[in-house]
Amino acid sequence: MQTARHSLLYDAGPLYGPGSNAGDRVVVPTLQALGARGLDSGRLDLLVLSHVHLDHTGGAEAVLAQLQPQGLLGSLLPDERGRLGLASAPWRDCAAGEAWQWDGVHFSVLLPDADAAGGRSSSGNDYSCVLRIEAAARHGHSAVALLPGDIERAQERDLVARHAASPGYLKADLMLAPHHGSNTSSTSVLLQAVRPQWVVAQTGYRNRFGHPAAPVRRRYEEMQIELRNTVQCGAAHWRSDQPGSLVCERQKRPRYWRHAVFDSRGQAK
Ligand SMILES: [Zn+2]
């Protein structure tokens, strides 16, 4: 996410194997190519690690070494950070209620609960750092992006219950599919509260989990929510000043060596 003068990276991609990770191979070169604000000086403002699982943190050490974020925010325990080579980086625990503003853009942590940090022994999906980002109003609309990590149905229920007194607070233009579109997430109660226009499921080609799950795809379709799978879309670009459009890199810049994943109408095959 980029604001006028700041940049934030939410999760660092997977570890592929010994000495091979998405940080080196994808994330750092992509951010440099995009010319992310703040990266002119070779630094990232904030790296958020939603939770410890390696599909989110496998690239973190490489990002840390090459982009030297000013800070790290996340839901990892000290020994987990040590194992990932992140022990020496400036760290803050992700806790609901934390908020800051960059260039008129508001960032708020919605989960996990601040109390949950004490005494827990692991930081799996349940502790995913849920981030809400709200842009300054344009034409009477403040675009919102919701990044929920890998939360499951219990956390989705909790999230909706917490904000029941402020209807519309969870409404977002763009949402990452919770837990990559797993059938354990994207519950109707969450979708009704968020009612996003766009949902992006970050998945792997022919991934063994079957993400995004067929019932989840149907749920989005029934609510007329546009689901984009990164397998077909490639990098998905979205801007808060054009919240109604989402651009897929693979569609914008097709290459002959990528097999066709869109039909002539631009629909995913
Ligand atoms: Zn994951």
DSSP annotation string for 35-85 = T-TTGGGT--SEEEE-SS-HHHHTTHHHHHHHH--SEEEES--HHHHHHTT
Other Cβ atoms closer than 10 A to 187: 19
Give the distance (Å) from ligand 1 centre to CA of residue 185.
12
Residue 46, C-beta contacts closer than 8 angstroms, at least 6 positions apart? 6, 7, 8, 9, 69, 70, 71, 72, 73
Give the distance (Å) from ligand 1 centre to CA of residue 2.
22
Give the distance (Å) from ligand 1 centre to CA of residue 14.
9
Give the distance (Å) from ligand 1 centre to CA of residue 139.
35
d(CA 12, CA 190): 25
Give the distance (Å) from ligand 1 centre to CA of residue 140.
35
Per-residue model confidence as pLDDT tens for the chain (269 residues): 999 999 999 999 999 998 899 999 999 998 888 877 667 667 799 999 999 999 999 999 999 999 999 999 999 999 999 999 999 999 999 999 999 999 999 999 999 997 765 567 677 899 999 999 999 998 889 999 999 999 999 999 999 999 999 999 999 999 999 999 999 999 999 999 999 999 999 998 888 888 999 999 999 999 999 999 999 999 999 999 999 999 999 888 877 777 665 555 555 55
Give the distance (Å) from ligand 1 centre to CA of residue 41.
30
Give the distance (Å) from ligand 1 centre to CA of residue 151.
9
Give the distance (Å) from ligand 1 centre to CA of residue 173.
22
- pTM for the predicted model, two decimal places: 0.93
